[in-house]
C-alpha cells in the first residue's frame, strides 16, 4: 500500500522553510504582516476594507488576495486604499509559501508598513500551510454558527487572533456564546479576541488599536 505520510511531511517541510525565508524578507523591509483566514462569507474582505480605510491615512498598506477565481476582493481592497495583488489558485483550497513569495515579488516592500494576506475561504487547509506572516487571524461570524471551534479545531488552535464578526446579528440569530467560547478556550486559551461588526463599526476600534500597536513594534 502506498505510503503518503512521508510525502506530505516533505511538502510541509519545504513549505515551512520557504515561509521562513518570506518572513525574513518581510522583517527586513520593516513590515508587519498578517494572514487572515475564515470560511466563505464570514467577512474577511469587509474587515480588510474597514481596516485599510481606517489606517491608510497613517500607514502604507499592501494586500495579497488568494481566491480560486476573480479579483473581486483585491479590487475592493484597492478601492479602499491598499496596493493589491491577486493570486488565483484555479482550484487549490489554500495559499502556500511559494504563492506568497511570488506575490511579494510584485510589491515594492520598501514602501509598505502593513501587509494583509487574505487566504482562501476555507476552514480546513489554510491552517496547515505557513506563509511567512507574523500573525494568523481567523474570522468567525455569528451566522455561521457557534459550533465551528468544535468542528474545525486545527484552524482555531493555530490562530494568534480570533475575530468574531457580525455581532450586530446576535439578537436575530441563535448563537450560544458560551458554547463557542468553551470550544475556543479548550483549543487556544488566551487567544487575543475581538468581537465586532464590520457593518455597524461596533468593536472595530479595539481591533484597529491592536494593529496600530503591532505596526509600531
Q: What is the pLDDT of residues 135-145, one digit of tens each?
A: 999 999 999 99
Confidence (pTM): 0.92
- Residue 98: what pLDDT? 95
d(CA 143, CA 140): 9
Residue 61 binned pLDDT confidence (cut-offs 50, 70, 90): very high
Residue 153 pLDDT > 90: yes
- Residue 12: what pLDDT? 78
d(CA 148, CA 141): 10
Domains, the chain, with CATH or none: 5-216 (3.40.50.300)
Q: Which of 157, 116, 123 lies closest to 139 in space, CA to CA?
A: 123
d(CA 42, CA 38): 6
Q: What is the pLDDT of residues 65-74, one digit of tens each?
A: 988 888 888 9
Return all residues near 66 (Cβ < 8 A) that are at least 6 apart: 87, 89, 94, 95, 99, 117, 118, 119, 120
The region of weakest confidence among 16-25, 96-105, 122-131, 186-195 is 122-131
Residue 8 binned pLDDT confidence (cut-offs 50, 70, 90): low
Residue 1 binned pLDDT confidence (cut-offs 50, 70, 90): very low
3-state secondary structure 96-109: CHHHHHHHHCCCCH
pLDDT > 70 in the chain, percent: 95
Q: What is the pLDDT of residues 63-100, one digit of tens each?
A: 999 888 888 889 999 999 999 999 988 777 889 999 99
- Average of per-residue pLDDT values in the chain: 93
Q: What is the pLDDT of residues 171-182, one digit of tens each?
A: 999 999 999 999
Rounded mean pLDDT, 186-214: 97
Q: What is the pLDDT of residues 33-45, one digit of tens each?
A: 999 999 999 999 9
Residue 159 pLDDT > 80: yes
Residue 214 binned pLDDT confidence (cut-offs 50, 70, 90): very high
Amino acid at each position: 500500500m502506498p505510503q503518503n505520510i512521508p510525502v506530505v511531511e516533505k511538502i510541509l517541510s519545504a513549505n515551512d522553510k520557504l515561509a521562513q525565508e518570506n518572513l525574513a524578507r518581510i522583517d527586513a523591509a520593516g513590515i508587519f504582516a498578517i494572514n487572515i483566514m475564515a470560511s466563505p462569507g464570514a467577512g474577511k474582505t469587509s474587515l480588510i476594507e474597514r481596516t485599510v480605510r481606517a489606517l491608510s491615512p497613517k500607514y502604507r498598506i499592501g494586500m495579497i488576495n488568494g481566491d480560486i477565481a476573480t479579483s473581486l476582493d483585491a479590487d475592493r481592497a484597492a478601492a479602499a486604499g491598499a496596493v493589491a495583488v491577486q493570486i488565483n489558485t484555479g482550484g487549490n483550497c489554500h495559499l502556500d509559501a511559494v504563492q506568497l513569495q511570488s506575490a511579494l515579488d510584485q510589491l515594492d516592500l520598501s514602501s509598505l508598513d502593513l501587509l494583509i494576506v487574505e487566504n482562501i475561504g476555507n476552514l480546513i487547509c489554510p491552517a496547515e500551510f505557513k506563509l511567512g506572516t507574523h500573525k494568523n487571524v481567523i474570522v468567525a461570524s455569528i451566522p455561521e454558527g457557534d459550533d465551528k471551534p468544535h468542528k474545525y479545531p486545527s484552524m482555531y488552535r493555530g490562530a494568534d487572533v480570533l475575530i468574531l464578526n457580525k455581532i450586530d446579528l446576535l439578537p436575530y440569530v441563535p448563537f450560544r456564546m458560551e458554547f463557542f467560547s468553551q470550544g475556543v478556550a479548550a483549543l487556544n486559551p488566551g487567544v487575543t479576541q475581538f468581537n465586532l461588526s464590520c457593518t455597524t463599526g461596533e468593536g472595530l476600534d479595539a481591533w484597529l488599536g491592536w494593529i496600530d500597536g503591532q505596526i509600531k513594534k
